Amino acid sequence: MAGFDLTALSDRELAAFRSRHVGFIFQLYNLIPVLTAFENVELPLLLTPLGKAQRREHVMTALDLVGLADRKDHTPRQLSGGQEQRVAIARAVVTDPTLLLADEPTGDLDKNSEEEVLTLLRRLNAEFKKSIVMVTHDPRAAASAGRTVMLEKGVLVSRA
């Protein structure tokens, strides 16, 4: 990826590469319950050399992108499942990675929230040129992809 032979990197170099180039979106959000939406999104930035003002700007940009700037002071329990997933997406994009890995990003959502998240992922790909690898069992989510690869028991069975 990005001209790097990832297999040649040390564990430390691989971790640094991931923190700069990869954002993770989890099915069950993985938000820290005692932190606000703002604080959850800020977490990956605490590992960067950004100052407090720069971190705030990045976090607010990410929360605005997912439509939750007005919910920045809410904890996960004060948010709906769809809002929690959008906070998780904001956390994944706050470092401006080139690749997003999404593990069942709609798997725990109602139809309305699912469509919001899929629309947001399509926007991240089209407008912000993010490459997205999504693992899903959801046919609607799979249908929203530009390219589909199907695996069955770890074996490639089709490409579309």
- What's the pLDDT score for residue 136? 93
Q: At what angle do helices 52-65 and 81-93 cross, to 10 degrees?
A: 130
Q: Is residue 95 part of a domain?
A: yes
- What's the pLDDT score for residue 2? 62
| 6: its two tokens | 């990832």
Q: In 3-state terms, what secondary structure has residue 23?
A: strand
Instruction: Give the H/E segment covering residue 84.
Output: helix 81-93
Q: How many domains does the chain have?
A: 1
Q: Is residue 128 part of a domain?
A: yes
- What's the pLDDT score for residue 87? 97
State pLDDT tens for residues 20-69.
Answer: 899 999 999 999 999 999 999 999 999 889 999 999 999 999 999 999 99
Q: Is residue 97 part of a domain?
A: yes
| Three-state SS sequence of 25-74 | ECCCCCCCCCCCHHHHHHHHHHHCCCCHHHHHHHHHHHHHHCCCHHHCCC
pLDDT band at 1 (very low <50, low <70, confident <90, very high): low
Q: Is residue 122 part of a domain?
A: yes
Q: Is residue 1 part of a domain?
A: no
Structural domain boundaries, residue 143:
6-159
Q: Can you tell me the mean pLDDT for 76-93?
A: 96
Q: Is residue 24 part of a domain?
A: yes
Q: Return the amino acid letter for 155.
A: V
For 56, 68, 156, the CA distances from 117, given in Å and listed in that order, are: 24, 13, 27
State pLDDT tens for residues 102-124.
Answer: 999 999 899 999 999 999 999 99
CATH of residue 16's domain is 3.40.50.300
